Structure 1
Amino acid sequence: MVATSDMLIFWAVVMARFFIPLSIPKYPLPGIIASLLLDAVDQTIFQLFTDLPLEGYQGYDKALDIYYLAITYLSTMRNWSNHFAFEVNRFLFYYRLVGVALFELTNLRSLLLIFPNTFEYFFIFYEAVRMKWDPRVLTKDKLIIIAATIWIFVKLPQEYWIHIAKMDTTDWIRANPSNVFILIGWTAVMIGMAWWLLRDLPPMRSGFSIAAHHATFRFDSLRAARVKDNYTSKRFFDDFIHHELIEKIVLVSLLSIIFAQILPEVRANDVQIAFGVSILIIINTELSQWLVRRGTQWRSIVKEFIVMSIVNLILVLLFDFLLARYEGSIDLLNTLFFVLLLTLNVTLYDRYRRVHLWSHAAITEFEESKKGIEIKNN
C-alpha cells in the first residue's frame, strides 16, 4: 500500500510541474528557469523522499516537458516585440517538436541530436537581454548568429552527451573530479561569446525588467476595430481556413501524437489521433470565432479555459464512442490528462495570438509613421 506521505509528495511535485510553467507568460525568465530546475530534480525528489516506483511516471514526465515548452512558445506570442526573433524561435520550436514526434514514433535516439532543443536556450537568451535592453536592438544578423552559436556549441554537445553517449555529468565528475575544470572552461567560453555578441548594444537601462510587457488587447476598443479591418486580422476573425487555424492544427496534432506515444494505454493509431484532434481544433476555433463575432469577450482566461474544457470533454466522449466502432479505444484517465493539457495550450494560443496580431500591427504602424516623418524631414 502506498504511504499517504508519498502520495502527498508525488502530487505536490506534479502540481508544481503543472502550475509553475503558467508563470512563464508573466515572468518569462524566472518561470522557464524554475521549470527547468524542477524537471531536473523531480525524480531525485521521489527517490530521496518516497518509495514510489517511477516506471509509470516516465511518460507523464515527458508529457509535462513538452507541455512547458509549448507554454514557453505561446508566451512569445504574448510578449516578444522583436518580430524576427519570434519567427526564429517559432522555427526552432516546431523543428524540435517534429524531432520529438519522430523519435517517439521510431525510438531512434539520433533524431534528438539532429533536432536539438535550441529553442529553449534561445528563449532564455532573448529574455535575459530583455531584462536590461529593448530586445528590438537585436538585429537579424545578430539573432541568426546567436541561434547558430547555441545550436552548434551548446545544444549539439549536450544532446550528444545525453542521448547518444548516455553520459551523466555527476558520474563523469565523480569518476574524475578534475573534469569540473573542463565544464567551468566551457561555461566561460560560452559567457565570453555572449559578451562578444552583446558588446555593441546601447547602454543598459537601470534595474531589471523581470515581468514581461505586452500589448493589452480589447475587442471593444477603437484600435481593435481598426486592426480588425486589415487583411491579417480579418483572416483570423472571419475566414474558415486561415494561417492561424492551420498552425493550431499542426501544433496540437504534433503534441497529440507525442502524448499518445508516451502516455500508457493509448490505443488509437496516429492517423486517428491526428484526425480526431484536427476536428476538435476546428470546432474549438469556429466556436471561439462565432462567439467573437457575436460580441462575446473572454475577460477571464480561466473562464475561457473551463468552458472550452467542458466542450472538449463532450467532444472526446463522442470521439471515444465513434472510435469504438472502428476497433479503436482510449483510456479515460489518460484522455482527461491529455485533453486538459491540450485545452490549456489551445486557450493560450487563441488569446496570445490575438495579442500578437495586435502588437505586430501596432509596431508596424509606428515604424511606417516614423519612416514617413523621416522622409518628410529630409
Structure 2
Amino acid sequence: MSAPYACDPEQSRGRLHPEEESAHRSCYQRDRDRIIHSSAFRRLKHKTQVFVEHEGDFYRTRLTHSIEVAQVARTISGALGLNGDLAEAVALAHDLGHTPFGHTGEDALDALMAPFGGFDHNAQTLRIVTTLERHYAEFDGLNLTWDTLEGIAKHNGPLVAPLGDDTATTGVIPYALSEYNKVHDLELHTHASAEAQAAALSDDIAYNNHDLHDGLRAGLFTEGEIAPLPIIGEAYAQVDRLYPDTDPYRRRHEALRRVFGVMVADLLETSGAILRDSGAATAQDVRELGYPVIRFSDDMFGRLKEIRQFLFTRMYRAEKVMAVRARVTEALEELFPIYLNDPSLLPQRWQGDVARAEGKAALARLVADYIAGMTDRYALQAHARLTGRDVLAGLEDAGLYQR
C-alpha cells in the first residue's frame, strides 16, 4: 500500500507536451520505458564506471551500475510505501548524461566548456531527455513527466536557495538545467520527491558496494586491506563463522552482499523514522520540508565516509587508473578543438544544428553534446582517426592498461 507522501501517477503534473496517456501503463511506467528504449541508455553499456569500458568484461559499466541502482531504488521504495516506478525511472536515467571515461571525461569537458557555461553530467542528463533524444514526431526529447524531470534535476537536493530566504547561499545552476528551467519550472528551490531521494541514495549504496568488488577483482587491494574498514570486517567475520570452508570467491560475494544489506537496512530504518516524524501528508509536503527524508543514520554516514576515503585513495587514485585518466583527458582535450574549429567533421545529422547555432558558445555546446554522447571506445577511435595516434600507446607495456 502506498504511503500518503508517495507520488501518485494519477496526480502527476503531466508532461510539457500534452499526450494521451497509455491505457496499460501509468505515466511513471511509461517514463521508465522511454528511458530504457533511448539511445543514450543503450550507450551506457560502453561507458566507464571506473575502468575504461573494454579493459575487462567483468567490471561494471554505467549500464550495469544503473540497473543495480534501479534495483536498490525499487527495494527501498517498496519498503517505505513509495512509488517504485518513479524511483526506478529516476535511477535508470541518473547517469544518461555521463561522458566517455566517467568523471574523468566530465572534468575534462567542464574545463573545456568553462568559457561557455561549463558542463555537468546531471544537467546533461536533463538535456538528453528533453532535447537531444530525437525519435518522436511531435517533440524533441522523451517528454517525460514533470515528476521524473524534477527527480533527475534535484535528486541530490535543491539547486537554489529556498524562496524568501535571503541568507542562504544561492547555488550555481548548471547551464543546461538553467536553460530548460526557463521554459518548464522544476521548482529548483525545493527538495525532490522521496522517490528521487531514494534513487540518489541507491546510487551511493550501489557504487560503494560494487567498487569494492571491482577493486578486489582488479587487484588494487586485498580482502586483508579492507578488513579493518567499518562494516566490512564484521561481514567477513560473519561469513567465516557460517561458512569456514567456502572458497575465496564465494567468501567475497557473501561478505559484500552483507555489506550491501547493512547499508539498505540502516537507510530504511532511518528514513522510515524521518518520514513518520515529518508529518508529511503529501508528496508536495516532502518537497517543502526543507530537509531530506531519505538518508543514512549519522553513524552509518560516518562509516561510509571512511570506506569512500579508502576507495578514493586506493581505487580512484590508483596508479593504473590515474595513468589511463591522464591519457583519456588528453584525448578529449584534443578532440574538442578539432570539432569546434571544423564542425563539418560532426556527423551529417548534426549539420542542421550546426547551421542554426548562433555564435561560438552555441557551437561549443553542440560539440560538447556530441563528445559527451560518445562511448569510451568511440572516443578513442575518433581521436585516433583525427590525430593519427593511439593515446593509450605504451601503457599496456608498462602494465598500466589492458586492451
| TM-score for both structures, normalised by structure 2 | 0.29
| TM-score for both structures, normalised by structure 1 | 0.31
